[in-house]
Structure 1
């Protein structure tokens, strides 16, 4: 053996597999797609930080919606563009000339569009979760399994987009695929009552005191990854035997989709007893919130204090203010603090107080003919009393109107004793019988 033989054999053996994957990841739109996914996620969540930065559930839900409505169509389009460019530039034929198996060539080709969006999303999600950490209850944990499932969703969509681009290399296929994905995901997300709605990556969840069932995230991973892998094997396989191999992930995807499609309206979320457990202050009447919102209890108690003072001793006054899912008979429901809570603090106590008054006087009337002049008069009185007890902050709510303003002026002109007497009569009246409600 001569000294010249060694480099010749090394060249013949080809570069290491890691260097081949590294080369593939560096080419094309892959790195740019990862950066676009990270920037889109961070910008979107930064703009809506007050709505998610106080609870793990809200942070996870917001990340999920960003994946379904924004990142999903974006990754589809980027993958489609990359796949179409490979077809237009003849990259497929070039890869077919090297001594690699068809499956290896296929996996290397889709690696940039599958892996870079995942890297960008996980980086942005880590930033968002770290930004949430200081403001949440320490007894709970972030739902990392759902974040990982959303990352698999992006990898699957990138792979499917790449395969569509290979089949249809037309340059306008990518933007059309993005628009189609946005419309399909968005329309399906609005139909939460439809069968199989939770198979859609953009469907939304609302309640902060829930937790996901343990099997959902693994089933979702199998559902998304199985579809993408089946499509990749079916397109890349060069023989009928390899095409039959695609039936394995396809069968697994269908099997995982069945329990997801049969989920109820609340989807995989179930009440978390620890998060929904009521925490009360020592006031009279008590103010109680779910444990997940206990950081807001001092602010909400202070916001309700003036109203409780005016209602004390009157018939129909709240015996206990309760927020969350467990409002019992005889208790008064509190409005959700979602729109007013920012990083564990109540940002608009006056607006929250106004909403609490609306909840206090809310009536559920079953009459089919609940209309006419008496009902209009009742609505004007209701607005006047609510505005008198808790004035609406500027820029919020609806105007009381001319009739409501007359009633409001009459209330303000009364003496304190007459005001209290009228409020007692108003609260004792049946709100579903407009003729019984007294005029100020």
Structure 2
């Protein structure tokens, strides 16, 4: 009888590091399949569509407006559910009374917690990046000039690991079935209340990831349009979020028995480094000030190259006096020309009339009662005959929709820029010449702007005194109606011949045709 022989089982020849990596990947795959954040994705995406995407799409197609809306809106949309999901997952062992059973496993507790944290963060990041890609993709097909701004999107992405780590820390150290909803609510109020202490443009509270610029200024279209986008504040915010994430994750390895001695020493160093990075970022944000273009400059992070204006070729109309806009505002050109063309046809060729109307940015300045704005000087050669134009969405204030802009733009052009053009033409001085009043009113009536008032202030007028409104029935109003009723060629010929005398105040009402 022959002895039966059996070959020894083949030993696993893979290195220990490779086997450990496979174990980690297998554990991560299991956590991804059963993670609570996967069930909350429809809620997060629904919040994004309802509160961020729809609001952004209603705004003007400008990269800086859409990017700022993405950062401030998406952080709230995703941070709340990811904090709740992370807290729920972290408290899983305590809720199921498994702490004693899993404590005897080969892997330390901090290592077991990293896999579910990573799974929660991955699900949140995948959904966020998908939403951001859709918003940026649609914007790319709508904008007329410029390119995507990535720093605001990076701040939103960096906030998700931080809030996931916050939820894990809360759920780990305060395990309860009530921890997850309370953590989610706390995350919402934490984000919302961080903006309350911000007053002015220099505040350390601007480190909040939902802040995209000077909080008192609000959404402002001209920033990052006439000048490059200044990434100083987003850099500080990403630094703060990365430091908070590192500190919170390292905190999980500090309790005795949760990790080996060497790991706890390394975790102590990582916690300290994370807190130092976060504290440094807060201090940097406190040194930031609003620049003239409505962005935050942080001296230690600022690149002086961002102070140079962007080069662009204006988009101009073919009207009698060309109207030229920044290409980012090309969609608004027809609104400007439709309103001003009748007046421009009358002014073209007259002595002292502008040869071009050029859109210019605004210069902003922090004031005691808010933010003041004034037009920047036109950046063009021969600016003596260039009339500056500032559009309503360049000015500080609530964000406007495209529909609201059309109405407000036409009102502003009719109520302010039309009279400003006429005032410049006749060299108007308040109350000095009834003939100037009548000619100016007549030109506005002939241009179809009967309700326009002469300017009290504006980009080309510094005089605080209002132009007197000519009441119907007065001699000046009658002269204005008579002047407006003249044929356009007759009115133009008279102005060419008598404009100098009208400016000098040598024309009386009786001398008007």
Normalization by structure 1: what TM-score? 0.70
**What does residue 324 of structure 1 align with?**
361
User: Structure 1 residues 391, 337: CA separation in 2 closer, same or farther (over 3 Å shift)?
Assistant: farther
Does residue 1:244 correspond to 2:277, yes or no?
no
Provide the secondary structure at the position in 1 that maps to 2:296.
Answer: coil
Distance in 1 (alpha carbons) for counterparts of 2:248 and 2:481: 75
Provide the secondary structure at the position in 2 that maps to 1:274.
Answer: coil
The 8 Å contact of residues 80 and 162 in structure 1, kept in 2 or not, is answered as yes
**What does residue 392 of structure 2 align with?**
336
User: Structure 1 residues 252, 341: CA separation in 2 closer, same or farther (over 3 Å shift)?
Assistant: closer
- 5+ residue gaps, structure 2, are 214-219, 363-374, 379-383, 421-440, 453-469, 487-494, 496-501, 503-513
User: What are the Cα deviations for residues 144-171 of structure 1, in whole angstroms up to 9, with x where unaligned?
Assistant: 2431232111111111122112222344
**What does residue 168 of structure 1 align with?**
174
Distance in 1 (alpha carbons) for counterparts of 2:121 and 2:95: 20
Does residue 1:259 correspond to 2:284, yes or no?
yes
Select which of 442, 449, 455 maps to 1:389. 449
User: What are the Cα deviations for residues 160-191 of structure 1, in whole angstroms up to 9, with x where unaligned?
Assistant: 12211222234444344334333342343352
Larger Rg: 2
Which aligned pairs between 1:183-262 and structure 2 lie closer than 5 A?
183-189=189-195, 191=198, 193=200, 194-205=202-213, 206=220, 207-209=223-225, 210-213=227-230, 217-237=234-254, 238=258, 239=261, 240-245=264-269, 246-262=271-287
User: Structure 1 residues 107, 71: CA separation in 2 closer, same or farther (over 3 Å shift)?
Assistant: same
CA drift at 1:234: 1.7
The 8 Å contact of residues 52 and 74 in structure 2, kept in 1 or not, is answered as no
CA drift at 1:27: 1.8
User: Structure 1 residues 187, 415: CA separation in 2 closer, same or farther (over 3 Å shift)?
Assistant: same
The 8 Å contact of residues 77 and 177 in structure 1, kept in 2 or not, is answered as yes
CA drift at 1:228: 1.6
User: What are the Cα deviations for residues 380-402 of structure 1, in whole angstroms up to 9, with x where unaligned?
Assistant: xx9xx99x82779xxxxxxxxxx
Distance in 2 (alpha carbons) for counterparts of 1:87 and 1:253: 30
User: Structure 1 residues 288, 234: CA separation in 2 closer, same or farther (over 3 Å shift)?
Assistant: same
User: Structure 1 residues 291, 24: CA separation in 2 closer, same or farther (over 3 Å shift)?
Assistant: same
The 8 Å contact of residues 60 and 147 in structure 1, kept in 2 or not, is answered as yes
Which aligned pairs between 1:82-121 and structure 2 lie closer than 5 A?
82-90=89-97, 92-121=99-128
Distance in 1 (alpha carbons) for counterparts of 2:231 and 2:358: 33
The 8 Å contact of residues 324 and 336 in structure 1, kept in 2 or not, is answered as no
**What does residue 296 of structure 1 align with?**
332
The 8 Å contact of residues 34 and 118 in structure 1, kept in 2 or not, is answered as no
Distance in 2 (alpha carbons) for counterparts of 1:7 and 1:29: 38
The 8 Å contact of residues 71 and 154 in structure 1, kept in 2 or not, is answered as yes
Q: Which structure exhibits the higher relative contact order, with contacts defined as CA atoms closer than 8 Å and separated by 6 or more residues? A: 1
Distance in 1 (alpha carbons) for counterparts of 2:307 and 2:485: 41
Which aligned pairs between 1:19-168 and structure 2 lie closer than 5 A?
19-52=26-59, 54-90=61-97, 92-137=99-144, 140-168=146-174
User: Structure 1 residues 152, 106: CA separation in 2 closer, same or farther (over 3 Å shift)?
Assistant: same
The 8 Å contact of residues 84 and 166 in structure 1, kept in 2 or not, is answered as yes
The 8 Å contact of residues 340 and 352 in structure 1, kept in 2 or not, is answered as no
- 5+ residue gaps, structure 1, are 363-381, 393-405, 429-440
The 8 Å contact of residues 53 and 132 in structure 1, kept in 2 or not, is answered as no
Distance in 2 (alpha carbons) for counterparts of 1:37 and 1:22: 22
Provide the secondary structure at the position in 1 that maps to 2:252.
Answer: helix
Distance in 2 (alpha carbons) for counterparts of 1:242 and 1:260: 29
How many residue pairs end up in the alignment?
Answer: 387
User: What are the Cα deviations for residues 33-78 of structure 1, in whole angstroms up to 9, with x where unaligned?
Assistant: 3443333223334422444462222221111011343332333233
CA drift at 1:412: 10
The 8 Å contact of residues 354 and 390 in structure 1, kept in 2 or not, is answered as no
Does residue 1:417 correspond to 2:499, yes or no?
no
Select which of 18, 25, 35 maps to 1:18. 25
Select which of 385, 405, 409 maps to 1:352. 409
CA drift at 1:221: 2.9
Normalization by structure 2: what TM-score? 0.62
Provide the secondary structure at the position in 2 that maps to 1:136.
Answer: coil
CA drift at 1:244: 1.9
CA drift at 1:408: 8.5
CA drift at 1:290: 2.5
The 8 Å contact of residues 76 and 174 in structure 1, kept in 2 or not, is answered as yes
Which structure features the higher share of helix residues? 1
CA drift at 1:104: 2.2
> Alpha carbon RMSD of aligned pairs, Å?
4.5
The 8 Å contact of residues 339 and 413 in structure 2, kept in 1 or not, is answered as no
The 8 Å contact of residues 75 and 154 in structure 1, kept in 2 or not, is answered as yes
Distance in 1 (alpha carbons) for counterparts of 2:343 and 2:473: 19
Distance in 1 (alpha carbons) for counterparts of 2:165 and 2:9: 41
User: Structure 1 residues 420, 118: CA separation in 2 closer, same or farther (over 3 Å shift)?
Assistant: farther
Distance in 2 (alpha carbons) for counterparts of 1:300 and 1:208: 22
Provide the secondary structure at the position in 2 that maps to 1:116.
Answer: helix
